[in-house]
């Protein structure tokens, strides 16, 4: 009997402890000023605080106990749980028109993965304000150029002089004024949206440039986002209805980013809208006529998708009238020095810092790195450097430390000579030789790419016996 009583007491004590832990968790969720979500190992939501409800308009009663994929299609939390790697301060767009900074980490119990937790800070207003300021700045520069009587070069913001990028710019200038659809192809981070904006600015069209990421919108919402909806078309719809992105781009340009991710049902309706130059809102009975120039972009192999019946062949031919191929950064290494200096100037102005020089060793690392994320990755690295740098010189120590693990050793180090001064000289020699060769031994051009005065280059040539 005593054992039974002791067991009953232990169970009661455990229940009380569990109740206390749940109460404390509820208090933590209510106290933090961020949207908090906790999922279990099956990606089902087990906790959802009031800030998450305010941010996404989804109550805890609706989402708790359900798979989070039913509500969001672009999820960093599930990726963190699967890869067992935490992220901190990552910019993220979990759904259209929502921008957050997210901290996310997996939850472990001993060696077992039992779910994940994330906290998101809403920065949507800041991002939208920044976009408005950027557009206003662009409009002011364009207006000033018109006042001064200068032609506006819409492609001036695309940097680089390598053959591949110059061919793309030349093709863009030729087709910009045409209403023909353009398909921009290239890896993620190559600058496809930048090209699309340049095409719109050079087109002379008076309407807006409207961008839609076909992979970021849940399939169930895609049609209403693209075509809009009539008032009362479905539960929760605005009584007045809403114009879709296609309608907002009337007399302008609609940029369909990641077109390969567009839901197949929406592909059919988009094709019909392009052919007839009109469409119906969801739940509407009146045709809406539009004059829209379509620019699409993708990093996927659309031809293979057509063969596998994942992308409509008729839409493919409708979009693929003019194709612009953007080369990856690893195939345009000649442009890296120019992109580095342009990026440092831009972020220097943003953060009020001035970095005027790039150490040759650092430039060698920038040239050798494969850049899987292309220009976007390069500019992310440069922004981080500008934020953290204390002096006016970009040095190799400012670059991500993980790069050192993949960096080949100079010949003398490979032979076992670890004299630091000799190794530094060897790196400088290799960088200067490479840049001179790339610029056909034009010393003025080479000095500009190296980020040093011409007199310093002459001194280095004599010092390193490269004359």
| Residue environment code for 345-365, b if the CB has 16+ CB neighbours within 10 A, otherwise e | eebbeeeebebebbbbbbbbb
| pLDDT value at residue 175 | 92
CA 168 to chain centre: 21
Chain region(s) in the chain for CATH 1.10.8.60: 330-463
DSSP count for the chain of H helices, then E strands = 19, 16
Q: How far is CA 428 from the centre of its chain?
A: 33
Characterize the bridge pairing of strands 357-358 and 393-394.
parallel
The per-residue pLDDT for 124 is 72
Cα separation, 134 vs 194, in Å, equals 13
CB 32 within 8 A of CB 51: yes
Task: Tell me the C-alpha to C-alpha distance, in Å, between residue 153 and each of 149, 173, 176, 293, 324.
Answer: 12, 9, 12, 20, 18
Tell me which residue of 311, 227, 313, 316 sits closest to 269, measured CA to CA: 227
What pLDDT is attached to residue 325? 93
Which residue blocks in 68-218 are alpha helix, DSSP H?
76-83, 124-147, 163-175, 192-203
Closest CA to 83 of 109, 111, 116, 42: 116
Alpha-carbon distance of 90 to 104, in angstroms, equals: 9
Report d(CA 57, CA 275) in Å as an integer. 37
Distance CA 129, CA 216 (A): 21
Distance CA(342)–CA(241), nearest Å, equals 44
Determine the pLDDT at residue 199: 92
Where in the chain is CATH 3.30.450.20? 2-123
Within 10 angstroms of residue 134's Cβ, the number of other Cβ atoms is: 10
d(CA 48, CA 60): 6
d(CA 180, CA 164): 22
Tens-digit pLDDT profile for residues 391-427:
888 887 888 877 755 555 444 444 444 455 555 666 6
Helix H or strand E encompassing 325:
strand 322-325
pLDDT value for 412: 45
User: What pLDDT is stored for residue 303 in this prediction?
Assistant: 92
Domain at 330-463, CATH class: mainly alpha
DSSP H or E run through 429:
helix 420-438
**Best CATH choice for the domain 153-327 from the list 3.40.640.10, 3.40.50.1970, 3.40.50.300, 3.30.930.10:** 3.40.50.300
CB neighbourhood size of 28 (10 A): 12
Helix axes 336-351, 360-368, angle to 10 degrees: 110
What is the per-residue pLDDT for 458? Answer: 74
Kindly report the CATH class assigned to 2-123.
alpha beta
Q: Which residues contact 135 (CB under 8 A, 6 or more apart)?
A: none
In the chain, list all ranges with CATH 3.40.50.300. 153-327
Mean pLDDT of residues grouped by 10 in the chain (467 residues)? 54 77 82 88 90 88 88 76 79 72 85 86 68 56 57 76 89 91 92 92 90 84 82 54 84 92 88 88 82 92 91 91 92 86 86 80 80 91 87 82 57 48 66 77 78 73 70
pLDDT recorded at residue 41 = 87
């Amino acid at each position: 009997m005593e054992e039974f009583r002791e067991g009953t007491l232990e169970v009661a004590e455990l229940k009380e402890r569990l109740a206390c832990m749940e109460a404390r968790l509820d208090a933590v969720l209510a106290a933090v000023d961020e949207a908090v979500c906790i999922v279990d190992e099956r990606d089902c939501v087990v906790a959802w605080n009031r800030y998450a409800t305010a941010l996404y308009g989804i109550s805890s009663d609706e989402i708790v106990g359900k798979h989070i994929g039913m509500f969001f299609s672009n999820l960093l939390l599930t990726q963190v749980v699967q890869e067992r790697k935490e992220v901190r301060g990552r910019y993220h767009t979990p759904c259209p028109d929502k921008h957050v900074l997210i901290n996310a980490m997996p939850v472990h119990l001993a060696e077992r993965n039992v779910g994940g937790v994330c906290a998101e800070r809403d920065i949507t207003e800041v991002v939208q304000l920044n976009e408005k300021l950027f557009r206003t700045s662009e409009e002011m520069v364009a207006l000033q150029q018109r006042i001064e009587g200068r032609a506006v070069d819409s492609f001036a913001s695309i940097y680089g002089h390598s053959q591949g990028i110059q061919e793309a710019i030349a093709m863009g200038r030729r087709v910009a004024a045409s209403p023909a659809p353009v398909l921009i192809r290239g890896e993620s981070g190559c600058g496809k949206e930048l090209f699309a904006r340049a095409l719109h600015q050079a087109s002379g069209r008076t309407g807006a440039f409207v961008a839609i990421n076909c992979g970021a919108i849940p399939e169930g919402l895609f049609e209403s986002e693209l075509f809009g909806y009539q008032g009362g078309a479905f539960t929760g719809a605005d009584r007045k209805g809403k114009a879709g992105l296609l309608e907002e781009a009337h007399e302008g340009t609609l940029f369909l980013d990641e077109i390969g991710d567009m839901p197949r049902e929406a592909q059919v309706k988009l094709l019909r809208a392009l052919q007839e130059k009109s469409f119906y809102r969801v739940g509407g009975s009146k045709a809406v006529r539009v004059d829209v120039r379509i620019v699409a972009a993708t990093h996927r192999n659309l031809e293979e998708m057509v063969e596998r019946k994942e992308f409509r062949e008729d839409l493919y031919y409708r979009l693929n009238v003019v194709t612009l191929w953007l080369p990856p950064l690893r195939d345009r290494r000649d442009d890296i020095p120019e992109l580095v200096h342009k990026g440092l100037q831009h972020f220097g102005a943003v953060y009020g810092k001035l970095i005027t020089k790039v150490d040759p060793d650092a430039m060698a690392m920038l040239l050798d790195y494969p850049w899987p994320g292309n220009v976007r990755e390069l500019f992310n690295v440069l922004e981080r450097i500008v934020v953290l740098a204390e002096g006016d010189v970009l040095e190799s120590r400012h670059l991500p430390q993980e790069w050192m693990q993949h960096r080949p050793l100079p010949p003398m180090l490979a032979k076992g000579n670890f004299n630091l001064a000799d190794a530094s000289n060897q790196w400088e020699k290799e960088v200067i030789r490479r840049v001179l060769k790339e610029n056909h031994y034009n010393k003025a051009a080479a000095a500009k790419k190296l980020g040093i005065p011409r007199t310093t280059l002459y001194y280095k040539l004599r010092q390193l016996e490269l004359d």
